Amino acid sequence: MNNVPNRQVICETLMAHAETDPDIFVLCSDSRGSASLAPFAERFPAQFVEVGIAEQNLVSIAAGLAACGKKAFAASPACFLSARSYEQAKVDCAYSNSNVKLIGISGGVSYGALGMSHHSAQDIAAMSALPNMRVYLPSDRHQTKRLIQALLRDEKPAYIRVGRNPVEDIYTDKDCPFTLDKAVWLRGREERVKAALIACGEMARPALEAAELLEKAGITASVLDMYCVKPLDKEAVIQAAQMADIVFTVEEHSPYGGLGSMVAQILGEHCPKYVKCLSLPDAPVITGTSPEVFAHYGLTGKGIAATVEGVLK
């Protein structure tokens, strides 16, 4: 049972690199605790900037730091970062092509019963629509570490969404295949299957569990960890579709403008195929913890497997 949330891994990774890189800057909007970045603030006060509860300022200041050669990581709850500071992400980061990494913490429905104001079911759609902006939803702590290490090496903007709670490992520290902007095949690569499951973020693990349940029921399924939602790994999407009867996408997001929309768009052009999109509803989600919400909307291993079986019938 893993008890390390992805946000903590981001802090640990940034701290490890900040030891030798004084240009790494972390910014928070009264969010150092919820972002697990308090240790960074304590260890590297000269590389930490607190802006208070002011998400627009957070992103613009990060862009200003980046314009002067800093590697700015701005962390704030995904619900606010992707909405309140959207224009700053658009103009100061994306348009100016600034080296700002926007870390959306407690993404999706992580804040559970706090209500729609605190959910970010629109962030993939919003951020993906910005030219120059890349969008990543790592699936576990090991992939999160690889992703941050890779992003430290480039100078372009990106939005990274992680959840609040620890998620079960998919990979191990030693076995975590990672190439930036290439999806990871978790099951069934180059195999002829009934169902191709393409998932991102916290939905990769339940997608994998669903494939295992389906196998027991005699239904073959491949699983693709599409942590790189933008740029979407088109080749992998097309390959998965070509080898499957039906494509399923799974995401913790609105049904519009997220992974499902992008996969359907690619396949509509390059490999027409029935695509079933599993997501949160186009509505304020039901009150509950993340696991309760996921279970309610069929976004668990069992729920995904049941949907796949139903569609295949």
Partner 1 sequence: MNIHDLELLSWDLRQQTLDIIMAGGGGHIGGDMSLINALLVLYENHLNISTASDPDRDRFVLSKGHSMEAYYAVLCHKGFLDLTDVTARFSRFGSPYIGHPNNKLPGIEMNSGSLGHGLPVCVGMALAGKRSGKGYRVYTIMGDGELAEGSVWEGAMAAGHYCLDNLCAVVDRNKLQISGPTEDVMSHEPLAERFTAFGWNVIEINGDRIAEVDQAYCQAKEVKGRPTVIISNTTKGYGSPLMENKAGWHHHLPDQKEYEQLKRDFAAGKERARHE
Instruction: Give residues in contact with partner 1 (CB under 8 A).
Output: 22, 25, 46-47, 49, 51-52, 54, 56-57, 60-70, 72, 87-88, 90-92, 95-96
Token code pair at residue 97: 């092509």
For CA atoms 145, 143, 164, 101, the dihedral sign is: positive
* Nearest C-alpha neighbor of 161 from the set 133, 202, 199, 111: 202
Helix residue ranges per DSSP H, the chain: 6-18, 38-43, 55-67, 78-81, 86-88, 123-128, 141-151, 204-216, 234-242, 259-270, 290-296, 301-312
* Nearest C-alpha neighbor of 45 from the set 62, 78, 22: 22
Is residue 2 a contact partner of residue 169, using CB atoms and an 8 Å limit? yes
Minimal distance, residue 22 CB to partner 1, in Å = 8
Helix residue ranges per DSSP H, 82-140: 86-88, 123-128
Q: Quick one: 22 or 281, whose CB is closer to partner 1?
A: 22
Minimal distance, residue 152 CB to partner 1, in Å = 18
Q: Quick one: 62 or 211, whose CB is closer to partner 1?
A: 62
Minimal distance, residue 70 CB to partner 1, in Å = 5
Minimal distance, residue 82 CB to partner 1, in Å = 17
Minimal distance, residue 154 CB to partner 1, in Å = 18
Minimal distance, residue 11 CB to partner 1, in Å = 19
Q: Quick one: 35 or 63, whose CB is closer to partner 1?
A: 63
Q: Quick one: 83 or 91, whose CB is closer to partner 1?
A: 91
Q: At what angle do helices 234-242 and 259-270 cross, to 10 degrees?
A: 70
Minimal distance, residue 125 CB to partner 1, in Å = 20
Q: Quick one: 87 or 212, whose CB is closer to partner 1?
A: 87
Q: Quick one: 131 or 218, whose CB is closer to partner 1?
A: 131
Angle at 254 between CA 131 and CA 299, to 5 degrees: 125
Q: At what angle do helices 301-312 and 204-216 cross, to 10 degrees?
A: 50
Which residues, 6 or more positions from 57, have their beta carbon under 8 angstroms from its beta carbon? Answer: 29, 51
* Nearest C-alpha neighbor of 229 from the set 141, 134, 149: 134
Q: Quick one: 94 or 135, whose CB is closer to partner 1?
A: 94
